[in-house]
Amino acid sequence: MKSLFPRLLAALFCFLFATIVFAGDFKSAIIAGGDMLAAPIHVSGDQFLVIRNFTQDGGTTRALVNVYLIATGQSANVLAATIIDQNNPPPLEVINDVVIAGPANVTVTCGDGTNFFITYRKGSE
């Protein structure tokens, strides 16, 4: 009878490797109030951008994600930050996702003096 341990070890290695590969795709950033993300995110024609989490800690003016479509020269705000205020909890808000297809330039601008948190990933088709 063959040992079960080598098979379990091989399966564990495969699951661990898959977790490491997929966990590294997303990037997160904390942005100070009144500031912008360090640089615009460029999404080329064969890529897409997924913004999974965009929140702010209190404040009244929401942070915005703006997309500039290179092909048409048009620009639009596509996502506003979800407000999370620990001191004065409003009704819970939904944290929305957005997918942006390239070619585009994406900028993140922040509102008044609070901290903002964004999680995103670029992928290719």
* All structural domains of the chain with their residue ranges: 26-124
Say which CATH topology domain 26-124 has: Jelly Rolls (2.60.120)
Confidence at residue 23, expressed as pLDDT on a 0 to 100 scale: 44
Confidence at residue 16, expressed as pLDDT on a 0 to 100 scale: 43
pLDDT digits (tens, 9 = 90+) for 33-48: 767 776 789 999 999 9
Q: Residue 100 in contact with residue 70, Cβ under 8 Å?
A: no
pLDDT digits (tens, 9 = 90+) for 45-83: 999 999 999 888 877 788 899 999 999 999 999 999 888
Average pLDDT across the chain, whole number: 79
Q: pTM above 0.85?
A: no
Confidence at residue 18, expressed as pLDDT on a 0 to 100 scale: 45
Query: Which of 51, 55, 117 is closest to 85 using CA atoms?
Result: 55
Residue 13's φ and ψ, nearest 5 degrees, are -60, -45
At 125 the three-state DSSP class reads coil
pLDDT digits (tens, 9 = 90+) for 10-25: 554 544 444 444 445 8
